[in-house]
Amino acid sequence: MNFSHWRRGTASEARSQGKRTQQAILARALKIAAREGLAALTIGRLARELEMSKSGLFAHFHSKEALELATVEKAKELFQNAVLRPAQASAEGVERLWILCDLWLLHIERRVFSGAYFFSGALFEYADRPGPVSKAIKNAAQEWLKALREAVGDAQEQKQLRRVRRAEQIASELNGRLLGAYCAYLLEDGASFREVRDALLGRVGELATNVIPVSAFESPACWRKYLEKRP
């Protein structure tokens, strides 16, 4: 008898079982870190919560650092899927810029992460530290800022936004407004998300040229109407 086919079957089953376990570990790791920070993520705690042995966990992640890195990558993937990728489908310029801001706010409202740690808290916590975890966190934050900056740059290129300041500075301002709104939300000392969106779109309108009618920036509903009716 030839068992080679059957043996291949079990090997691939074992691999996919291993992958499922790894995904389950990462999902739990992400839940802990998003709420309490990467430092709260210990092999011991994960083993307890997942009812696994520590050695079983170590078989998947050979070190605390490897686990942290995989968790950051998972968080990055979630953020890309919630914010960056959907925005890539839109037209370059102000349209994409607004979708980026809108989806960023939406990922908070919809609690894509179970806490406020990724990537704001993580960045402030890790920015001044050496090592690959800090690098991965900065990389995620840079990817986001780059998307904003390119959208602003494209909008300036297309003469939709005035060149009052460099694209980096405008991107940094808009990123800051989003962070400020998040802070105020966490402290219950700010505006509703509706007010935040109105103010943010209004600000984009202040920076805009007359290529787009002023009325388009009055509210997100006006903006949607403008996009629909646009030739």
Which residues of this chain interact with a second copy, rule CB under 8 A? 35-37, 39-40, 114-117, 120-125, 127-129, 138, 141-142, 145-146, 149, 165-166, 168-169, 172-184, 186-187, 189-191, 195, 199
The distance of closest approach from Cβ of residue 150 to a second copy in the complex, given in angstroms and rounded to an integer, is 12
Which residue is listed with tokens 């960023």? 104
Q: Decide whether 7 or 166 has the Cβ nearer to a second copy.
A: 166
Q: Decide whether 53 or 63 has the Cβ nearer to a second copy.
A: 63
Q: Determine the distance from the C-alpha atom of residue 121 to the mean position of all C-alpha atoms in its chain, rounded to a whole number.
A: 13
The distance of closest approach from Cβ of residue 180 to a second copy in the complex, given in angstroms and rounded to an integer, is 2
Structure tokens at 58: 């170590």
Instruction: From 132, 144, 214, select the one nearest 172 (Cα to Cα).
Output: 144
Q: Decide whether 114 or 219 has the Cβ nearer to a second copy.
A: 114
How far apart, in whole angstroms, are the C-alpha atoms of residue 176 and residue 122? 16
Residue type (1 letter), 81 = N
Structure tokens at 171: 């991107």
Q: Decide whether 11 or 40 has the Cβ nearer to a second copy.
A: 40
The distance of closest approach from Cβ of residue 193 to a second copy in the complex, given in angstroms and rounded to an integer, is 12
Which residue is listed with tokens 């694209």? 167
Structure tokens at 18: 């291993």
The distance of closest approach from Cβ of residue 227 to a second copy in the complex, given in angstroms and rounded to an integer, is 25
